[in-house]
Amino acid sequence: MKDSVADIIQEMYSKSVETISISAIFMLWSVSRSFYALTKGISAIYREEEENYIFLRIKGMIGALIAILLVIGILVLLVFGNSIESAIDANFHGLSGVLEFILNARNIISIIRNVCYIPAYV
């Protein structure tokens, strides 16, 4: 198991930046299909007129990118939140209270994001 994980990591580092960039673009295009399907389904439910296919896919890409960035941001706060709070408290004393409130409410913020994200997208 450790050898296969090490092989995968070694292969990732040996790939060129262009290959990884192209892979990320194709992955984003594929993920945008799910947002396209959601938008098309909700439009059918509400009997709205359909928009241009390319426009909906680009809108789906932006939505997927926002979702990915939100998940990464929440994961960073969950894992490194206390370290970030300590560093900000050491350098910026005024922001310490605000960040402490956000870190204490991070689970509630995560739930609110999950509930509100899809309706806000459409």
Question: Which residue in this structure is represented by tokens 């993920």?
Answer: 31
Task: Assess whether pLDDT exceeds 70 at residue 93.
Answer: yes
The answer to whether residues 85 and 53 touch, using CB atoms and an 8 Å cutoff, is: no
Model confidence, pTM: 0.58
Task: Assess whether pLDDT exceeds 70 at residue 25.
Answer: yes
Report the chain's terminal Cα–Cα distance, integer Å. 42
Q: How far apart are CA 36 and CA 31, in angstroms?
A: 9
Q: How far apart are CA 26 and CA 20, in angstroms?
A: 10
In this predicted model, what pLDDT tens digit does every residue of 10-22 receive, in sequence order? 776 776 666 777 7
